Copies of this chain bind each other. A is one copy, B any other.
Amino acid sequence: MNYKHIVQYYETDKMGITHHSNYIRFMEEARIWFLKEIGWGYDKMEEEGIISPVVSVSCNYKKTTTFPDEIAISVSVLEVNQVKLKLGYTMTVGETVVCTAESVHCFLSSSGKPISIQKQFPEFYQKLCELSRGAKE
């Protein structure tokens, strides 16, 4: 289960490579795709008045990429609890790992208060727990 991103010309920089900031955007693309795949569309989430700000990101650049490489991105659930979701990303071009990354997310009501996904969205929470190897329930 992999998301694909073709590196665009406008995503390169004068070093001739994909600008490193764009990988953070590829993570978002892959995350939104992943959440939709497991039945949790980001647009539907917003319709329900939930916002999910990014708490932190980290990104390790292993190999450079450039236009028009196809980057395959796999997403995994590293950790989930009532207030926080931690995702992992592995990006490859062919057989080569080009980038590994992580992101942490929380869930807020439209008024900005943290919500418990376990209570409010038990099925989604259950799904995330199953996907998370070693997640504490």
Report how far A64 CA is from B9 CA in the complex, Å.
Answer: 17
User: Roughly how many angstroms separate A16 CA and B13 CA in the complex, as a whole number?
Assistant: 7
Interface residue? A2 (CB, 8 A): no
Q: How many copies does the complex hold?
A: 4
- How far apart are the CA atoms of A13 and B25 in the complex, in Å? 12
What is the distance, in angstroms, from A21's C-beta to the closest C-beta of chain B? 4
Contact assessment for A14 and B66 in the assembled complex, using a CB-CB cutoff below 8 Å: yes
- List the one stretch of A53-61, A73-81, A119-127 in contact with chain B: A53-61
Minimum CB distance partner of A31 in chain B: B9
Looking at A19, A22, A43, A68, the one whose CB has the most chain B CB atoms below 10 A away is A19
- Residues of chain B lying within 8 A (CB to CB) of residue A60: 55-56
A10-B25, A10-B28, A20-B24 given; 12 more Cβ-contact pairs under 8 Å: A8-B25, A9-B13, A10-B13, A10-B21, A14-B15, A14-B67, A21-B21, A21-B22, A21-B28, A24-B24, A53-B64, A57-B59
Write 28 A-B pairs (CB below 8 A) sorted by A numbering.
Answer: A8-B25, A9-B13, A9-B28, A9-B32, A10-B19, A10-B21, A10-B25, A14-B14, A14-B16, A15-B51, A20-B24, A20-B53, A20-B54, A20-B57, A21-B21, A21-B22, A21-B24, A21-B25, A21-B28, A32-B68, A43-B68, A54-B61, A55-B61, A56-B60, A56-B61, A57-B57, A57-B58, A57-B59
